Amino acid sequence: MSADLAFINTNIKTINPQMPFAQAITITKDRITKVGTNKEIESLIGENTVVLDLEGKTILPGLIDTHIHVADYGRCLLWLDLTSAKSIAELQAMLKEKVKQTKSDKWIVGQGWNETRFKEARMLTSEDLDEVVPDNPVILYREAAMICAVNTKALALSGVTEQSAVPKDGEIDKNPDTGKLTGIFRDTATTLVWQAVPEPTEAELLETTAYACQKISAAGITSVDWIVISENELPIIQKLHEQGRLTFRVNVVVPEALLEKAVSLRTVDSSVLRVGGALIVVDGYLDSKEAALVEPYSDETSNSGKMYLSEEALKASVKMAIRAGVQPVIHAMGDKAIDATLRVIEQSPQGTRFRIEQAAVLNKGLLERLRVQDVVISVQPKVISTEFTVWSAKERLGERAKWLHPIKTLLDAGVVVAGGSDCPMEPLSALLGMQELALRPSDPTQRLSVEDAMRIYTFDAAYCSGEEATKGSIEAGKLADLTILSSDPTGVKPDKIKDIAVDFVVVNGKILVAIT
């Protein structure tokens, strides 16, 4: 039988060690039918085959993002991007434009300003914002930190005054001379204003999430592990699926508390949409020193972090996920949390593919146990790089910093590592993730080859969700999900990988034209 679609004269990186490279590929319906040279696929080209000459472009297996918050990303796409503002005046001009397109009672939310880039070299104030936006409430988040600037209207709606109590681990800035609020909120105090921003309506959320889906396809992603944060995402996922607007495969991962509600999601094709995981959070983040450590933090010797779950509770949660037929997706960051997680895994019946989000602070013993149990480690490489511009691993962890996200060491030991973006916390881009893995600015000893980095976003990401038999490499019989790139990631300087253009993607055998 002749194929529906054929790509010839391409540079195919198959991520299949049996045949790493190929020149041509054929697709029939939703499957790859042949991979080889132009000559080898000739016999499958018939009258009705659409043949595309890709003139040397690179094809990778469809890229997979194992950790993305799609609905949140959609909301953020509507935010005003302030990263290019080089002065407060420039930022004010951007706000002025935005206010023209915004109804008078609607909030204006923005992100990405940074006073170190401003000509004026100072923080924003509520007066700066009031000057250009007196009527709409405004909240603008600073880059790479939990700091926001708000205007007077936003202060009024949130009910915060000079007399308001400051929440633990937060700060509300006041003018030292007058005692008046400056409009700057820090850390936990930022939620005082954020909670006054109304939740989007279901119709708004549907449209913003659909927009996020277009962006995800444009970034070359053909499968995601959609980490659900709030219950109101479930009907959105259902609707987008029914309306045919999910342009990539979705493995839904929900907080364990939402598992029962999520399993009622109806799917017409479980290879396109399925509920695949329950998120179980064992400890907090290193950033806020809530990752649970065996020994205390080096920069705060009375603090060893926090276990959010006892080992018994963790065991019960894991059992519940397995009983519901989904993967336990376990957030464990500190060595103490990872040790407890491994003990539960070691006592669980065989046959479940376990996955740990982060597994940040390791040691030799933990590494060996991860290998023996075949636990997949899910990492978000850009998050790792950004973190170490904010705090010092050496100061916080001392000698343990050597074992912080030791991705190369994990691969060398045979532990599978899968990659995600954590978008919208960090930009949506698997290519950027590969670049971070290859450059590893925070720890050059853990740099990966570009080939390994590509596997982390393809085959290993499919392995992470137990779908490696159908996805993750370019082989006859597998689902026809492909990402077509203008250049080969192994053929450019590592710091240019993120700039490679995604030409288009193929999902389920169909060409999707990328929307930029």
Question: Quick one: which segment of 106-114, 165-173, 265-273, 421-429 binds Zn ion (CB under 5 A)?
Answer: 421-429
Rg of the chain in Å (alpha carbons): 24
Of 30 and 422, CB closest to Zn ion: 422
**Cβ-proximal residues to 82 (8 Å cutoff; 6+ apart), any chain:** 91, 94, 110, 111, 112, 113, 140
Of 65 and 422, CB closest to Zn ion: 422
- Which whole-number Å values give the CA distances from 471 to 205, 411, 460, in the listed order? 30, 20, 10
Of 8 and 286, CB closest to Zn ion: 286
- CA trace torsion 158, 168, 229, 82 (10° rounding): 60
Residue 357 makes contact with Zn ion by CB under 5 A: no
> Which residue's C-beta sits nearest to Zn ion?
422
Determine contact, residues 241/268, Cβ cutoff 8 Å: yes
Question: Quick one: which segment of 38-46, 171-179, 302-310, 419-427 binds Zn ion (CB under 5 A)?
Answer: 419-427
State the nearest-atom distance from the C-beta of 422 to Zn ion, in Å: 5
Per the DSSP assignment, residues forming a β-bridge with 36 are 24
State the nearest-atom distance from the C-beta of 310 to Zn ion, in Å: 23
State the nearest-atom distance from the C-beta of 382 to Zn ion, in Å: 12
> Please, what's the b/e burial string for 338-377 (b: 16 or more CB within 10 A of its CB; e: otherwise)?
bbbbbebbeebeeebbbbbbbbbbbeeebbebbeebebbb
State the nearest-atom distance from the C-beta of 404 to Zn ion, in Å: 19
What mask of x and - would describe binding to Zn ion in positions 50 to 69, judged by CB under 5 A? --------------------
State the nearest-atom distance from the C-beta of 46 to Zn ion, in Å: 46
State the nearest-atom distance from the C-beta of 42 to Zn ion, in Å: 46
**Cβ-proximal residues to 30 (8 Å cutoff; 6+ apart), any chain:** 479, 480, 508, 509
- Which whole-number Å values give the CA distances from 132 to 61, 93, 137, 185, 433, in the listed order? 48, 8, 11, 20, 38
State the nearest-atom distance from the C-beta of 254 to Zn ion, in Å: 13
Residue of 283, 335, 422, 468 that binds Zn ion (CB under 5 A):
422
Of 225 and 422, CB closest to Zn ion: 422
Question: Quick one: which segment of 145-153, 288-296, 389-397, 422-430 binds Zn ion (CB under 5 A)?
Answer: 422-430
Of 80 and 383, CB closest to Zn ion: 383
Which residue, 489, 420, 483, is CA-closest to 454? 489
Of 4 and 422, CB closest to Zn ion: 422
Question: Quick one: which segment of 265-273, 322-330, 418-426, 505-513 binds Zn ion (CB under 5 A)?
Answer: 418-426
Which residue, 323, 317, 406, 413, is CA-closest to 373? 413
End-to-end Cα distance, the chain: 36
Question: Quick one: which segment of 31-39, 100-108, 243-251, 417-425 binds Zn ion (CB under 5 A)?
Answer: 417-425
State the nearest-atom distance from the C-beta of 418 to Zn ion, in Å: 14
Residues that contact Zn ion, how many (by CB under 5 A)? 1
d(CA 107, CA 183): 16
d(CA 292, CA 285): 8
Q: Running DSSP on this structure, what letter comes out for residue 361?
A: B
Of 422 and 452, CB closest to Zn ion: 422
Residues that bind Zn ion (CB under 5 A): 422
